A and B are shown apart, each in its own frame.
Chain A
Amino acid sequence: MEILVCVKRVPDAAENEIVVGAGGADIKREDLVYSVNEWDNYAVEEAVQIVEREGGNVTIVSMGDSEAEEVVRREMAMGAAQGLLLTDAAFDGSDGLGIATILAAAARKGEYDLILTGALADDGAGQVGGMLAALLDWPYASVVNKIETKDGKSLRIGREIEGGTQEISDIETPCVLSIQTGINEPRYVGIRGIRKVASIEIPILDAGALGLDAAAVGAAGANVRRIDYFVPQLGASAEMLEGSIEELAGKLVDLLKAKGGIR
């Protein structure tokens, strides 16, 4: 099976304080620690496991500048033979549909049976996978937490939907799946793994190479534009309750009543 996995370089939420720059136009990025989007590790691991079972190749693709190459290489070290970097100043400011358009152009250059994305990234939108599938006119399933290969033409997948309900479906390939964390345990990537893929050339494709109209992507083509960022004001710290267990329980119950917790 030929599998394309879309990955993104993001500020590591656990490692960074997010500070909004003057005027709110952007967050301050100089001191941010970046890493691969956490969901993407699960997507890559799943792809590598499928290929280890069934044969085939995994290709890692990322849209971004030259710094994204490091992330592509790290993910390749998990067991992907190829990488692709989609880089063009014209891509800056793309909204979800713009990014999906760019990824779709890259996907059309290969012959993939399956495309995996993380279910979510730093932007919290979780929309690129679904849009990518729509643009390719492929079937799509989101928040997938189980993949079984059935035959050459379809997969049996699990999705976690509302209220903890697990939905099991058969989906035809080629298809796009967005992968939920917890589907597997992403393998550790050591220095040795990274060295192994260090010499693999990663092709860099721009708008021209992808056959894209620069006006259709990037800020020019975006329907969703960011006006500003701001950091939500945290309220004062918690009011601390004290007293004996009985007093505490009594006070908490009063609060539950006040907040509609007991009807």
Chain B
Amino acid sequence: MAGVLVFCELQDGTLKKGARECLSAAGSLASATGGEVSAFVAGSSAQAAAEQCGQYGVRRLFVAADNALDQYTTESYTAAMAEAVRQAAPSIVLIPGTSNGRDLAPRLAARLNVGVASDVTSLEWSDGRLVARRFVYSGKALATVAVTGSPAMATVRPNALPLSQPASGSAPEVVNISTSTDSTVKVVETKAPEAGEASLTESDIIVTGGRGLKEAANFSYIRDLAHAIGGAVGASRATVDAGWIDHQHQVGQTGRVVSPNLYIAAGVSGAIQHLAGMSSSKHIIAINKDPEAPIFRIADLGVVGDLFTILPALTDEVKKAKAHS
């Protein structure tokens, strides 16, 4: 038992950001265990990811190329990933904390009869165990946990680990695996969101609106800025409960937990449930007319003022700056 196996998801034939983040952390972890980095990819375009995996230090790539795996299902992916674990015999299995990753990890862990540390924000290998940190109690506390078991498993919070630059590396050895693709869950339809909507959990930048928007139509102020800077649209729970915007945009304890590089909160007071969903953002800008709003306590930069005048001015400046760059 040595090394790290990373579960990688692809989008348009390239590694998704969560996978690249896990691979970025995998190199030093693998060395600490005295092993190498291996990765798992599935679906008909899996083979195409080999070169990119090599650039992230992957030495062995487990490919489940069955086109039945183009659609994620818990059972088929658990079967394939369990086979990769059996062959790779890693000390550590890392799974990006995406929707599918978080769905897969518990079933895989139970299948392997090991535990899994969920949604971790840091990782190290110490005394033969995986030591990880993770937020608990709505982000009000951090816990350090030690994961034992063969392998030690963790799901990794998106945007939490630093991304390394791809380096020139030799293509990995490809190992084809073939397992049952049967599933008692049949996906009948996937409905994509409106065009142009960036993914909340993977976005580098999120612009979030709160109750200060006053009504549904005013989410246009948020959307305009988000589109201008190429970010995703977030929403506080109050606005979702009021029916101003879909639940899929909700940031917070009962919505999405996000940690983008830049988080802009406009008209969001910053209830603890909201803070739980965004406090690990790298840089937080808050705009609110109430100088006492709790959001200012965790923001890096605050503006006390009227979002209805500040946001359009900012959106215009962003457009100008982009036109010049």
Contacts and interface: CB of A to CB of B under 8 A. Distances in A.
Pairing of A with B? yes
Interface of A: 11, 13-14, 16-18, 20, 27, 38-39, 95-97, 100, 122-131, 133-135, 139-143, 145, 156, 159-172, 175, 180-182, 222-232, 234-235, 237-241, 245-246, 248-250, 252-253, 255-257, 259-263
B214 interface: no
B193 A226 contact: no
A262 B186 contact: no
Contact of B145 (A20, A165, A227): A227
A171 B248 CA distance: 22
A14 B273 contact: yes
B114 A172 contact: no
Given A245-B313, A252-B314, A259 B106 contact: no
A161 B100 contact: yes
Given A145-B247, A223-B115, A130 B197 contact: no
A182 B314 CA distance: 33
Given A166-B191, A249-B316, A39 B254 contact: yes
A141 B99 CA distance: 11
Nearest to A249: B313
Contacts, number: 290
Interface in B181-217: 183-193, 197-202, 204-205
B144 A227 contact: yes
Contact of A13 (B102, B140, B305): B140
5 contacts: A38-B253, A124-B135, A163-B199, A232-B139, A238-B302
Nearest to A122: B137
B301 A255 contact: yes
B144 A228 contact: yes
A16 B247 CA distance: 26
A261 B185 contact: no
Interface string B215-243: 00000000000000111000000001000
Given A124-B134, A231-B142, A241-B302, A169 B185 contact: yes
A11 B137 CA distance: 8
Contacts of B186: 169-171
A252 B198 CA distance: 22
Contact residues of A: prevailing secondary structure: mixed
B248 A130 contact: no
Contact of B107 (A124, A131, A170, A234): A131
B268 interface: no
B84 interface: no
Contacts of B78: 134
B106 A13 contact: no
Interface stretch (B56-64, B160-168, B292-300): B292-300
Nearest to A119: B254
B199 A164 contact: yes
Contacts of B91: none
B83 interface: no
B302 A27 contact: no
B237 to A, nearest CB: 9
Given A143-B99, A164-B199, A14 B271 contact: yes
A84 B75 CA distance: 29
B146 A227 contact: yes
B112 to A, nearest CB: 10
A156 to B, nearest CB: 8
Contacts of B253: 13, 38
Contacts of B325: 262-263
A164 B200 contact: yes
A241 B301 contact: yes
A246 to B, nearest CB: 7
Given A163-B198, A253-B314, A262 B322 contact: yes
A124 B192 CA distance: 27
Interface string B133-153: 011111111111111110010
Contact of B262 (A127, A128, A224, A260): A260
B193 A124 contact: no
B1 interface: no
A129 to B, nearest CB: 7
B103 A97 contact: no
Contact of B317 (A127, A240, A252): A252
Contacts of B191: 165-168
Contacts of B118: 96, 124-127
List 9 A-B pairs, minimum CB-CB distance, nearest first. A130-B106, A223-B115, A163-B199, A134-B110, A238-B302, A13-B138, A164-B248, A164-B193, A224-B115
B176 to A, nearest CB: 25
